[in-house]
């Protein structure tokens, strides 16, 4: 099915543009999977065709999503920046992939870029958590007006949630960027070199520099209450969960992990009640894999 989708999208240039625009239109109502698809289609075009056409396709997806933002929430102009990042970010990573030929490099660049943005936000804003307070208050008020009452001290909850929102948003952004990049790359390899994406994905690792940074970050998180460190920890967990998933695929390819267990991991990742635990387990697996896997291991 995915081979047919990729072939249909690349047969005519206008097909990719229209499909990306449709996904962009629905992306705000359902971030997953429509925003991932809106970013994956330009990635496919960038790898299969050329950069100019891919940027045009990304622009159609961004324009459709921005139109929805302006129509439904004109006061939420900050969403426009998010839309631009999530639609143009994957295609820029795809262009880097075309130039460098390393999916792992794109993975590392995406992780470093998102972490850098988190650092900049916490350096520029005098109180990053305060940005979310009013928004969270409105969310709670809307829940209460709908008959949903939260037990406990809502002010304390808002204070806790506001400290974690930047990290959660960064982790979600990284997951969406990488999801779009990986899906678009997989589509392209289905057309040109079946099996190549799996080989590349199974090699994912943070590497020495990012691995050391993550290790120091986790150590600091135990002794510090810094909102910046907490936010960066969210990014680290998101990145490590991708490496953990790559390790699971490597285990399946080598026969050490049953296919059913791999399928169970994906099911648990989309079930809300088990998602956070599964991500945590994958992140721990990814952290161990980054340091224990022999660097010469191919798959």
Mean pLDDT along residues 55-81: 83
pLDDT, tens digit (0-9, with 9 covering 90-100), for 199-210: 999 999 999 999
Mean pLDDT along residues 155-170: 82
Q: Is the pLDDT of residue 268 over 80?
A: yes
Mean pLDDT along residues 270-275: 82
Residue 9 has what pLDDT? 85
197 within 8 A of 191, measured Cβ to Cβ: no
Q: Is the pLDDT of residue 46 over 80?
A: yes
Q: Is the pLDDT of residue 72 over 90?
A: no
Q: Is the pLDDT of residue 181 over 90?
A: yes
In the chain, what is the straight-line distance between the N-terminal and C-terminal CA atoms, in Å? 26
Residue 81 has what pLDDT? 86
Residue whose tokens read 């304390």: 156
Residue 297 has what pLDDT? 56
Mean pLDDT along residues 253-276: 86
Residue 144 has what pLDDT? 64
pLDDT, tens digit (0-9, with 9 covering 90-100), for 80-131: 888 899 999 999 999 999 999 899 999 999 999 999 999 999 899 888 888 7
pLDDT, tens digit (0-9, with 9 covering 90-100), for 217-256: 999 988 888 889 989 999 999 999 999 999 999 988 888 8
Residue 70 has what pLDDT? 79
pLDDT, tens digit (0-9, with 9 covering 90-100), for 15-29: 889 999 998 888 877
26 within 8 A of 34, measured Cβ to Cβ: yes
- CA 90, CA 178: separation in Å to the nearest integer? 7
Mean pLDDT along residues 157-185: 89
Residue 60 has what pLDDT? 93
Residue 11 has what pLDDT? 84
Residue 61 has what pLDDT? 92
Q: Is the pLDDT of residue 278 over 60?
A: yes
Q: What is the mean pLDDT of the chain?
A: 86
128 within 8 A of 95, measured Cβ to Cβ: no
User: Within its chain, how far is the Cα of 100 from the centroid?
Assistant: 21
76 within 8 A of 69, measured Cβ to Cβ: yes
Q: Is the pLDDT of residue 296 over 60?
A: no
């Amino acid at each position: 099915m995915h081979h047919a989708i990729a072939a249909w999208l690349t047969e005519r240039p206008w097909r990719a543009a229209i499909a990306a625009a449709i996904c962009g239109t629905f992306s705000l109502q359902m971030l997953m999977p429509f925003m991932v698809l809106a970013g994956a289609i330009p990635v496919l075009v960038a790898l299969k065709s050329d950069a100019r056409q891919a940027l045009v396709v990304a622009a159609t997806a961004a324009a459709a999503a921005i139109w929805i933002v302006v129509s439904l929430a004109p006061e939420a102009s900050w969403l426009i920046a998010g839309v631009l990042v999530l639609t143009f970010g994957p295609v820029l990573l795809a262009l880097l992939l075309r130039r460098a030929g390393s999916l792992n490099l794109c993975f590392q660049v995406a992780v470093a870029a998102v972490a850098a943005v988190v650092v900049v936000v916490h350096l520029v804003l005098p109180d990053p958590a305060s940005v979310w307070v009013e928004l969270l208050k409105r969310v709670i008020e809307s829940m209460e007006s709908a008959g949903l009452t939260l037990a406990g001290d809502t002010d304390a909850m808002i204070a806790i949630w506001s400290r974690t929102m930047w990290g959660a948003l960064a982790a979600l952004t990284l997951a969406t960027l990488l999801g779009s990049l990986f899906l678009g790359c997989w589509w392209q390899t289905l057309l040109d070199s079946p099996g190549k994406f799996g080989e590349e994905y199974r090699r994912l690792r943070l590497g020495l520099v990012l691995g050391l940074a993550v290790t120091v970050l986790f150590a600091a998180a135990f002794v510090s209450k810094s909102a910046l460190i907490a936010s960066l920890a969210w990014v680290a967990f998101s990145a490590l969960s991708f490496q953990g998933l790559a390790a699971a695929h490597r285990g399946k390819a080598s026969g050490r992990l049953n296919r059913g267990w791999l399928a169970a991991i994906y099911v648990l990742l989309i079930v809300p009640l088990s998602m956070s635990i599964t991500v945590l387990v994958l992140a721990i697996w990814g952290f161990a894999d980054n340091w224990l896997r022999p660097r010469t291991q191919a798959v």
